[in-house]
Structure 1
Amino acid sequence: MSANDLAGTLLLGTHIAAVWFCTGLVWIIQLLVYPGFAVMERTGWVALHQRHTRLMGLIIGGPWLVQGLTCAVLLVWRPPGVPLVAALAAGVCGAATVAVTLAISVPCHERLAQGYDPDVLARLTRTNWWRTAAWSLGGVVALVMLVLA
């Protein structure tokens, strides 16, 4: 195996691990955490929500950063066999998760940090499907890139 092949395998392996970590986590949030918020006792909501957002940031921050960095590398250098269109698709999926998070999810969480609001939680849960879809599609794209390499 050449150094170029090894670098490509490491890059794609790291990218896949980061994307699928984020994908698994967003599915847990979508199917377990946010629906759980809707039925939980409201006593202590602010403290629980604060803990959730703090810990979620710690859990997702590293893998999400790795996903972004590996996407950036794939846009300028790809292993042999991986077309630019695949790297662009990975980048679009990653950018979609960032855009939805900053434009919708963060403002919803900021409102929920002030107190429970069923309408805000419903919006957060509904729009989180966009992140779930983007990360899931990004995971599929990552696997396709590995097969093509």
Structure 2
Amino acid sequence: MPPESLPPGDVDIAGAGLHALATIHLGLTCSMTGIMWFVQLAYYPNLRVVGAENYETYEQEHIRRINRVAWSMLAAELATSLALAVLPCAVWLRTVWVINLLLLLVIWWSTWFVQVPLHHALSKQFSDELLDRLVRTNWLRTVCYSLRTALLLGLFYMWLEYFPAAMASP
């Protein structure tokens, strides 16, 4: 909707560096969405190729290495999402940030209570059933990441289309 149709005060959406924080958050979210699609379509299905005799060692190494990379990105994404949800902004924008945060909390719930336990079980003993469950349940995270990316890209499009001055460097 064009700026003239917004309530007074809603046009100044970039106050206090909001757009800079949102840009960092968008970059993290897009990166994690790409990683999630790679994991869903290529990485997890290829785990069968490792073979049962080498799988436990492979999975333990996977857990060790992924912790170095993924958790720092996940933590940064959560921190920026929380900050965006609590920073002062227009009600319509707060709604976007809260929806974004709720989808991220679903991802974190699925990660901690579904994927992590499955990875730990697989690190002790390979099972086709557990691997199938890992691939199947990871769709929730993949879809939530995709929805978040679409939501944020839509917001950035709106900002660029209707509030180009707000997105300009200070």
| TM-score, normalization by structure 1 | 0.89
What does the per-residue CA deviation read over 1:46-81, in whole Å, with 9 as the maximum and x for residues that have no partner?
111011111112221111111111111111115669
Contact 1:19–1:63 (Cα < 8 Å) also in 2: no
User: Which sections of structure 1, spanning at least 5 residues, go unmatched?
Assistant: none
Question: What is the root-mean-square deviation of aligned Cα atoms in Å?
Answer: 2.0
Contact 2:18–2:84 (Cα < 8 Å) also in 1: no
Paired AA for residue 71 in structure 2: G
Structure-1 residue corresponding to 2:118: 108
* Secondary structure at the counterpart of residue 13 of structure 1: helix
Match of 2:141 among 123, 131, 140: 131
Stretch moving more, 61-70 or 117-126: 61-70
Contact 2:110–2:140 (Cα < 8 Å) also in 1: yes
Paired AA for residue 80 in structure 2: T
1:65–1:16 distance in 2 versus 1, CA, 3 Å = same
How far apart are the structure 1 equivalents of 2:88 and 2:148?
A: 16
Contact 1:93–1:134 (Cα < 8 Å) also in 2: yes
The structure that has the greater radius of gyration is 2
Stretch moving more, 32-41 or 97-106: 32-41
How far apart are the structure 2 equivalents of 1:28 and 1:65?
A: 20
Runs of 4+ displaced beyond 3 Å? 78-82
How far apart are the structure 1 equivalents of 2:150 and 2:76?
A: 17
Structure-2 residue corresponding to 1:13: 23
Structure-1 residue corresponding to 2:165: none
What does the per-residue CA deviation read over 1:105-128, in whole Å, with 9 as the maximum and x for residues that have no partner?
111111101111010110010000
Deviation at 1:34, TM superposition (A): 0.8
Contact 1:71–1:91 (Cα < 8 Å) also in 2: yes
Structure-1 residue corresponding to 2:83: 73
Deviation at 1:145, TM superposition (A): 2.7
Structure-2 residue corresponding to 1:63: 73
Q: How many residues align?
A: 147
Paired AA for residue 134 in structure 2: L
1:81–1:146 distance in 2 versus 1, CA, 3 Å = farther
User: Which sections of structure 2, spanning at least 5 residues, go unmatched?
Assistant: 1-11, 160-170
Contact 2:52–2:126 (Cα < 8 Å) also in 1: yes
Paired AA for residue 33 in structure 1: Y
Deviation at 1:5, TM superposition (A): 4.6
Match of 2:98 among 58, 68, 88: 88
How far apart are the structure 2 equivalents of 1:145 and 1:120?
A: 38
How far apart are the structure 1 equivalents of 2:24 and 2:143?
A: 21
How far apart are the structure 2 equivalents of 1:27 and 1:79?
A: 32
1:14–1:73 distance in 2 versus 1, CA, 3 Å = same
Among the aligned pairs, what percent are the same residue?
Answer: 22
| Residue 28 (structure 1) aligned with residue 38 (structure 2) | yes
